[in-house]
Chains A and B, each alone.
Chain A
Amino acid sequence: MTRLILSTGNIMTSGPSIIRRPGADRSNLELTSSLRSNFIAAQQDLSPPLSATNGNGSTSDSETESPGRPPASVWTRRDGSDYYIPTIDWSMSGLSEEPSQYDVTVKLFYLPGADIKHRAQYAKDAIKLVLKELGVQTIDLLIVSYPGMSFEGDCEWEADKKNSSQGNDEEEVASWPVFEEFYQQGVVKKLGLAEYGSEKLSRFMSRVKVRPKVDQVNVKDCCNVPPPLLKLAKLEGIELLVHNDCTDVLPSGTLRELLGQGAKGAGVLSESKRGLDGMKGDLTPNWVVKYTAVVRDRGVIENKGYFAVAELRE
């Protein structure tokens, strides 16, 4: 089994991929397009200059040789069972000012197809990557997004009600202790949830030791938050924050396309049985983590990016 570690790098200065298209609320466009543009960038930057090669690389498998695409080996890296797409130069990581100047927010998306018994490990892996990437010791706010949750529908009461039966309370509560641990160790200063309606939230809070302080919601119109949720948030001192992500931020079909041989793919993953580099088999996206570092008193976002991890069973 190979663990694929996809990364976007800092997307703040990577151009249009971060810009929301009019009308596109709730999407994973930012993730997919910034992954794609980071792959292309790495392919360009890390393939040998034309003068250093004779022709177009040394491999001859026509499947991976779409014109101009360098072999995966030059821009990705295998490290034991980990496979970095693209390879990460950790010497380039870190923030420009003292860590105390920043608000660091991290959002961890547990994806629907992933095995829930590994959730604690996923969380640890995700936090480790983010801390390393930003060169910080602590995270100000960690938001956990469980699969299968949303606020759907035009009527806010209805959406809140529907939400109550979404997700899986047992699994969500059972997945929480690892975050409580982060909190108690001081690695995370504040915990949050995403897309919890009033009923789910109050059930959740009655069952956990360290309560979430934030509930990040995506309601169709931010001015129409379900009143029961507003009331509960006020009562319990929970901040309701707005977001724009979809919960299933990286479906396996999308991932396959991103890595595949198509025109928009990175050419890492084989679509046929005679794939190269052993990169073929069943692909399961496990989790995605988004991180943002904001210079607190200037409101400037210095670094934002994603890691996405999937498992490939050959």
Chain B
Amino acid sequence: MGLLALGTPLDWPEAKKNADQVREWGIKQLLSIWNKAKGKERDALLWGDEVEYLVVTYEKDKPEVTLSLRQADILHALAQDEELSSEGGCVPALQDIGGSTLPIFHPEFGRFMLEATPGKPWGIGFKDLLDVEPNMKLRRKIAKDHMNPEEYPITLTTYPRLGSPGTFTTPCFPPSGDKLRSQFVPDEIANPHIRFPTLAANIRSRRGRKVQVNVPVFKDKNTPWPWKDPTVNYDLHKWKEDDDVRNGASPDNFIHMDAMAFGMGSCCLQITFQAKNITEGRKMYDQLSPLGPIMLALTAATPIYKGFLADTDVRWNQISAAVDDRTPEELGEKPLEHDRWRIPKSRYAPNSTYISEDPRLRKEYLDPNLVIDPDVKQQLMDGGMDSVLANHFAHLFIRDPIVIFAEDLQKLDLNKTDHFENLQSTNWQHIRFKPPPVGSDIGWRVEFRPMEIQITDFENAAFSVFMVLITRAILSFDLNFYIPITKTDENMETAHKRDAVLNDKFYFRKNPFPTRAPRPYSSNGGLNSGTASPAMLSRPPTPSGPVEDEYALMSIDEIMNGSKGDSTNDFPGLIPLVESYLDSMNVDVETRCELSAYLSLIRKRANGTLWTAAKWIRHFVQGHEEYKSDSVVGEKVNHDLIGAVIAIENGGIKDVRDVEKFLGPVTKPCSG
């Protein structure tokens, strides 16, 4: 989440009236950063991971499990301890760290969430890669040490019974508050910092109704069909939004949710990379984009919503719907009258355009229907930005700013980026291109956002490290993963399907290798001396065939592990690419051993030897004695599931059902 500046937030439609000013100032701030930083060069690879936690209260012998809403208290306890440690430290947990920088904890949208990042960014030194997992474990431990004994930080993407009837928070509050107007969750579910309730309320106001988060329910043996969400109350009359369900917001066979918390209350694993310069940053942004849906499907961990088994495995579309502020006109439900354009996607969506100046970026890869604000584009180009990048920002700026603080509207400060960030940070695309912050030495960065958080730190470290290594392989081998960007949208949809990781196919580029640069030829035999004019050297470039011939539908196994003999493709596989990269580097045996364990986990998830978290959770629920094959994840099942998740990371892993199918042999393969 962005900076939590305090101030007086404008309600909708007051905020709307100031949207143009915020956009205009945002563009000016962007141009100011761009002009300062476009020539920034030779930044090192620095990277960081963000791990998000749910905080639950759980006791083995007590049937109730709840989300703890004590985020503020926990952060307060952590902050106090960090002060102590900076003064020499007197808390045992913080003394054992041996000089490494303490992790940093942040608030998140959900009041039951925490986010933790390493205290300083990681580098590419292989020792750094080995520090990631212990650091994640340390974060979990420090968080736990500052909670009540019955509270645990867990890394499930969503809380299975969030919004179910009955008690699911501690303390408990009634739903139907003024800000969210949700019939399932209370306003107190959101971080009380004024930014968050305002964000939720203004999204709802702009939209003209509550958000509609509908997930297809999983049809089990005893699931009544058609299935009507039994938790929806059609008789509420407190807010005008209570009409939504009477107007068809809750269709048959879908689990219905109605508040931002159902999406923004999800935990993700995000990785941010610093690029060498803007050119490399733009290249990385483009090349990581097609990997998004693949990594989403591979990290699938979200099979339950509001106490029901869903027919999807990942969180993405639910977050997308939970912050969808589009009006009926923008959605195409009404003719355009007050709004400027139809917008095909939510603010939270796969990215919609490529931004690199790479000559391999064919115009056929771009979406011809990309919506941009032509005035914004013109301003950016007048300010010196090239049209490709100007297009990107002119697309982000089709949105309205949602949260505007009155204090920020008084004068434009070009040494700040608040107005730019207002739009930038509420465009939640699956890759984010981040300009250098003003007044710091940080460079251009790219954030990879689609992955689901994994239950264990081992898995989270594995996926984080894999992403770092694949970016190094991309840059070293000059790989090319371009496909038409609308295919990435389709892939994101495919990634939602139950067990997409094994059963579905994704569009992916068949040949990722660069075309060889030809040697200069000179007609007087052999090589020229190197001084001949390049003009006469080049042969006609290999004619590029139809774009449709460049990609094919492949399984995740084929994409990750390479094409097998029976495939018509000859894709090398992302993991072999990473291994080839490692083969060319000086890696010590211990590091390689650890990295092999990570790559082995990912290889096995991709080929089905190991289950995704989504599959493990499904099996856990469906194999539970209290489960009645009716898609309902009741309180007892939930209790035991949370208990198992806690046990996995707290020394009880051996007793957890099916854990070896999920994580492999309980002792790590490389512990020898």
User: Which A positions have Cβ atoms within 8 angstroms of B?
Assistant: 12-16, 18-22, 30, 41-42, 44-46, 48-49, 52, 73-75, 77, 87, 89-92, 97, 101, 103, 105, 141, 214, 217, 219, 222-225, 239-244, 292, 294, 297-302, 304
Contact = CB atoms under 8 A, between A and B. Distances in A.
A42 B669 CA distance: 45
Contact of A15 (B124, B516, B589): B516
B525 A74 contact: yes
Nearest to A298: B45
Given A13-B514, A22-B562, A299-B45, 8 more contacts: A41-B518, A42-B519, A46-B519, A223-B589, A223-B593, A299-B585, A300-B476, A304-B584
B521 interface: yes
Nearest to A24: B576
B589 A225 contact: yes
A21 B583 CA distance: 12
Nearest to A44: B518
Nearest to B514: A13
Contact of B527 (A89, A243, A298): A89
Q: Which secondary structure dominates chain A's binding surface? A: mixed
A301 B581 contact: yes
A36 B539 CA distance: 21
A239 to B, nearest CB: 6
Interface in B316-348: none
Nearest to B528: A89
B519 A41 contact: yes
B589 A217 contact: yes
A252 B669 CA distance: 39
A223 B672 contact: yes
Contacts, number: 135
Contact of B123 (A20, A219, A292, A297): A297
A12 B596 CA distance: 22
The 4 closest A-B pairs by CB, nearest first: A91-B530, A299-B124, A297-B44, A223-B593
B670 interface: yes
B250 to A, nearest CB: 48
A74 B526 contact: yes
A141 B523 CA distance: 41
A298 B44 contact: yes
Contact of A241 (B472, B561, B562, B588): B588
Given A20-B580, A297-B124, A13 B593 contact: no
B477 interface: yes
* Residue of B526, B581, B584, B588 with most partner-chain A CB within 10 A: B584
B105 to A, nearest CB: 28
Interface of B: 42, 44-45, 123-124, 276, 472, 475-478, 513-514, 516-521, 523, 525-531, 539, 561-562, 570, 572-573, 576-577, 579-581, 583-589, 592-593, 596-597, 669-670, 672
Contacts of B588: 239-242
Given A13-B514, A298-B124, A19 B576 contact: yes
5 contacts: A45-B519, A46-B527, A222-B589, A242-B592, A300-B475
A12 B580 CA distance: 10
Contacts of A217: 589
Contacts of A241: 586-589
Contacts of B592: 222, 242
A139 to B, nearest CB: 13
A105 B608 CA distance: 38
Given A22-B561, A46-B526, A224-B672, A16 B593 contact: no
Nearest to A299: B124
A244 to B, nearest CB: 5
A21 B577 CA distance: 9
Contacts of A20: 576, 579-580, 583
* Residue of A13, A87, A223, A299 with most partner-chain B CB within 10 A: A299
B583 A244 contact: yes
A144 to B, nearest CB: 15
A286 B67 CA distance: 70
Nearest to B129: A299
A224 B672 CA distance: 7
Contacts of B529: 91
B530 A89 contact: yes
* Residue of B475, B517, B520, B583 with most partner-chain A CB within 10 A: B583
Contacts of B573: 22
Contacts of A49: 521, 539
Contacts of B577: 19
A244 B587 CA distance: 11
A49 B580 CA distance: 35
A301 B585 contact: yes
B514 A105 contact: no
Contacts of A45: 518-521, 539
Contact of B513 (A15, A48, A52, A239): A15
Contact of A141 (B517, B576, B586, B587): B586
Given A44-B518, A74-B526, A91 B576 contact: no
